[in-house]
Amino acid sequence: MNENEIYKDAKKRVAEIRGFYGHVFVYVIVNLGLFIINILATPHHLWFYWPLLGWGIGLFAHGFSIFGLHGIFGKDWEERKIKEMMNKEKNKEK
């Protein structure tokens, strides 16, 4: 693989990840809005969780297609978490 192909692949991957984070942002904002509408309009009948659940399944599938099981809990994830926790402990000591 040459440098140009590596760059194109990396750019595509970053665009996919960015798209997923955009999806998460819209999911949170819209479902927060639905929750507020539900509480204000019909507090005695809760329905906001149905779109939350349905869309959440789609969001999970989108995330899984981007990161896969290995990307979420793989070796890289473990190493990042270990470093993150070590940094937190170091910062506590300061």
Residue (of 28, 18, 30, 29) closest to 66 by Cα position: 18
Asked if residue 81 is part of any domain, the answer here is no
Asked if residue 93 is part of any domain, the answer here is no
HEC string of 2-51 equals CHHHHHHHHHHHHHHHHHHHHHHHHHHHHHHHHHHHHHHHCCCCCCCHHH
The full length of the chain comes to: 94
How many distinct structural domains can be found in the chain? 1
Per-residue model confidence (pLDDT) at position 85: 84
Q: 64 in a domain, yes or no? A: yes
What is the tens place of the pLDDT at every residue in 31-82? Answer: 999 999 999 999 999 999 999 999 999 999 999 998 887 666 666 777 777 8
Query: pTM for the whole thing?
Result: 0.71
Report residue 94 as tokens: 């300061």
DSSP 8-class letter at 65: H
pLDDT digits (tens, 9 = 90+) for 70-85: 666 666 777 777 888 8
Residue 11 is predicted with a pLDDT of 93
Query: In terms of residue numbers, what domain contains 34?
Result: 3-68
Examine residue 36 and state whether it is found in any structural domain, yes or no: yes
